[in-house]
A and B are shown apart, each in its own frame.
Chain A
Amino acid sequence: MLARLRASIVKEFILFWRDPKTRSMLLGMPIVQMILFGFAANMEVKNVELVVINEDAGRWSAELIGRISSAQFTGGLTHLERMEELTARIEQRKALVAIHFPADFSRNVIDGKTASVQVIVDGRRANSGQVTLSYLKAIAGELGAQLAADGPDARPAIRAEVRNWFNPNLNYRWFIVPGLAGTMSMMVALMMTSLAIAREREMGTFDQLLVSPSTPIEILASKTLPALLGGGFVGIFIIMAGIIGFGVPFRGNLLLLVFALFPFLFSVVGIGLTVSSISNTQQQAALGLFFTIMPIMFTSGFVTPVENMPLWLQYVVQVNPLKHFLIIVQGSFLKSMPATDILANIWPLLLIGAVTFGTAAVLIRQRMD
């Protein structure tokens, strides 16, 4: 029986390996995506285009503009004369932020009053806009504090100190690359499972398999093991590339993380099997895959945090295997998460896998009758 199983697994691998285009895609996809995500997926804000209308002829607006234009996030700063120009620039997305100094700005500063500046932000890009605004506030606050320190009622400002643990410089890559180990290995495993069975079915060879001496369990195993190994390979590859290539600090237990990868892939493969057991053609399997991948990806916390969702959805999301694995992988990389916390996220994975495998088995058996 083992020899038979081995033979059919080898056959599956050969099938994936035979076609040079498929081969290069299966290998190339994780690499391209890693580069894409690693460099493109970034919520830091850089190269911001700013426009300024300055009605104030005094010294202090010039001082503030000087500080803003030499700040790191600034890509370009253009002086404009008229309000219509400013509107056009913002509307046409040529500038993210516009700053409007009123005529009495410097006078208010000199008189010791509060000097106001209007900041107009393109709300179509609310996230970057808010981040830019917080940078601008920091610059204005710093200048304001210096002014206050020079003034007559000088007293040091009271402040709150913010410390960003695990990632002090708020490097977005440290967040996204570990997450990729989860999403990419999931995608590869899902595709390999669901398309493998659908192809046999479309070509009519699935029936041949069923009448062969292989038992249904062997058939399932030969279809799922390559996916498990393929996904595992991609996952480990990205973890390594994250540590070595991207320089993301790894503070947890590497063995434990690799161990946790397999319950995760087990639950994912169960989902892939379920999808393929209800589809008759490759097209249906591929489209069905999309239908499952998207909610899994977008509710996992990979792009936006789970805590931002409404509470009822946060409960629903407990059945999302990627959500649990992201906690494990991100926790292992940056937080050196203890084993108890990791185990707390492994058992849901096993539960999900048991349910999806069970469903797939029932569905496939129904189809056989």
Chain B
Amino acid sequence: MRRILALVKKESYQALRDPSVLLIAFVLPPALMFLFAFAVSLDVDNVDVGVVLEGDGVQAQALAAAFDATPYLRVSFGRNRAEFEDRLVSGELKAYAVIPADFETRLQAGGEEAAIQIITDASNPNSANFTGTYLQGVFSGWLMGASTSATATAERIQLVPRFWFNPELLSNRMLIPGSMSIVMTLIGTLLTALVVSREWERGTMEALLATPISLGEIIVSKLLPYFVLGAIAALGCAFLAIQVLNVPLRGSVFALVLINVAFMIPALGQGLLISTLAKNQFLATLLAVLTGFLPATLLSGFLFEIQSMPWLIQQVTRIIPARYYVSSLQTVYLAGDVWPLFLRDMAAMLTVGGVFLGITRMKSRETLD
């Protein structure tokens, strides 16, 4: 026990002495959270769109005014399509609507020919989809409201949507909990991988192994300081999210702590495993990026829906601890305590962590022979 304590002390000093560790543990988390709060947003806002007004009819003018009055759009008006086409190519505009010269007659006739045309820049398909739908919505809203009852027929089937847990549909409500998985993966996996692989690279690991200290003790003493660092970072993230970024915490603090602890085990285990496989810092960094950071960003389901991925990749996501972490975190923040979900996710994280630690143990023994 005394041996472990002494080792832990040594590791902690070593960790805290290096400014880069402090940078990752204390500066990166808030920086990343702010990034996800402000820079990464799926909410379409202030979109630059054009409106081509080919005629001067009263109705056409009224529709143009309706586009102009929409809060989420920045509208510029024009007379001919060609000019707007170029601006669509250069990326100045994300979409434009064409109100044709014979708009009034088309409104009367209805049917066959579309009354207006909406052209989107689909080089970004997701925002094109939202912008297109949104402009269509503005148009049908205008049809319902401003035009006479003769031209509009009420919707026969109306969907009344309710977004649970996130009624304002703020994308950063879900992205901020998701971004924590990146922070914790970096602290848990990248930092441990770097620290332990440095010992291997310099040959001090062999020296440590030659001492009476057992392998288990070495592992524990290496992991403990980073476990504590991770815990502090998680607390900091939670505080920032709730107090500054207005993410609600609808579940209990107890559940939040438990989820974070459960995630630290596979994260640290993965870092340790990488360092025993790589044994040099450059390679360890690459491996940590490839197996830790990227999956936490891409395959954890907070940016890209797992269900939409091809079957094979869906199966790969099952061994990625961040997937379970994101699922539980989003739930504990936005939905509340859903214990069946938490228990399932935590069991998965612990299983993956156990496998990582088991392989590490096997591999470290082999290298001694």
- A residues with a Cβ closer than 8 A to B are 19, 21-22, 25-26, 29, 32-33, 36-37, 39-49, 64, 75, 88, 90-93, 96, 109, 112, 114-131, 133-134, 136-137, 140-141, 143-145, 147-148, 153, 155-168, 170-172, 174-175, 187, 191, 195, 199, 279, 281-284, 286-291, 294-295, 298-299, 301, 303-305, 307-311, 313, 317, 327, 330-331, 333-338, 341
Contacts of B261 in A (CB 8 A): none
**Max chain B C-beta neighbours (<10 A), residue from A25, A124, A159:** A124
Q: 0/1 per residue, B40-68, Cβ < 8 Å to A?
A: 11111111100000000000000000000
Q: Which residues of B does A touch, CB under 8 Å?
A: 18-21, 23-24, 27-28, 31-32, 35-36, 38-48, 88-91, 94, 97, 106-107, 110-112, 114-130, 132-133, 135-136, 139-140, 143, 151-167, 169-171, 173-174, 182, 186, 190-191, 194-195, 198, 278, 280-283, 285-287, 289-290, 293-295, 298-299, 303-305, 307-310, 313, 327, 330-331, 334-336, 338, 340-341
The reply to whether B122 and A167 form a contact with Cβ atoms under 8 Å apart is yes
Besides the known contacts A41-B303, A124-B174, A331-B91, 8 further A-B residue pairs in the complex with CB atoms under 8 A apart: A44-B308, A93-B331, A128-B307, A130-B130, A156-B110, A199-B282, A286-B285, A305-B124
B20 touches A163 (CB 8 A): no
What's the least CB distance linking A66 to chain B, in Å? Answer: 14
Chain A residues with Cβ under 8 A from B327's Cβ?
93
Task: Give the dominant DSSP class at A's interface.
Answer: helix
- Determine if A121 and B198 form an interchain contact, defined as CB atoms under 8 angstroms apart: no
Contact (Cβ within 8 A) A283 B156: no
A290 and B38 contact, CB distance less than 8 A: no
**A40 engages B164 (CB within 8 Å):** no
Please determine whether A130 and B123 come into contact, CB atoms closer than 8 angstroms: no
Are A124's CB and B42's CB within 8 A? no
Once the chains bind, are A167 and B123 in contact (CB under 8 Å)?
yes
Enumerate chain B residues within 8 angstroms of A127, measured Cβ to Cβ. Answer: 42, 126, 171, 305
Shortest Cβ distance from B106 into A: residue: A158
For residue B340, which residues in chain A have a CB less than 8 angstroms away from its CB? 88, 92
A308/B163 in contact, CB under 8 A? no
Contact: B140 with A282, CB < 8 Å?
Answer: no
Q: Which residues of A contact B308 (CB under 8 A)?
A: 42-47, 128
Contact yes or no, A91 B331, CB < 8 A = yes
Cross-interface CB contact of B18 among A134, A284, A335, cutoff 8 Å: A284
Query: Within the complex, which residue of B28, B135, B165 is in contact with A122, where a contact is CB–CB below 8 Å?
Result: B165
Q: What is the bound-complex CA distance between A160 and B116, given in angstroms?
A: 5
**With contacts A45-B305, A144-B156 known, is A125 near B123, CB below 8 A?**
no
Across the interface, do A91 and B298 meet the contact criterion of CB distance under 8 Å?
no
The residue that A47 contacts in the complex, of B40, B278, B307, with Cβ under 8 A, is: B307
Assess whether A164 is in contact with B162, with CB atoms less than 8 Å apart.
no
Q: A307 to B92, alpha carbons, bound, how many Å? A: 10
Some 7 contacts from A to B, beta carbons below 8 A apart, are: A117-B158, A117-B160, A126-B170, A175-B125, A287-B191, A288-B23, A308-B44
> Which residue in A46, A134, A299 is a CB contact (below 8 Å) of B307?
A46
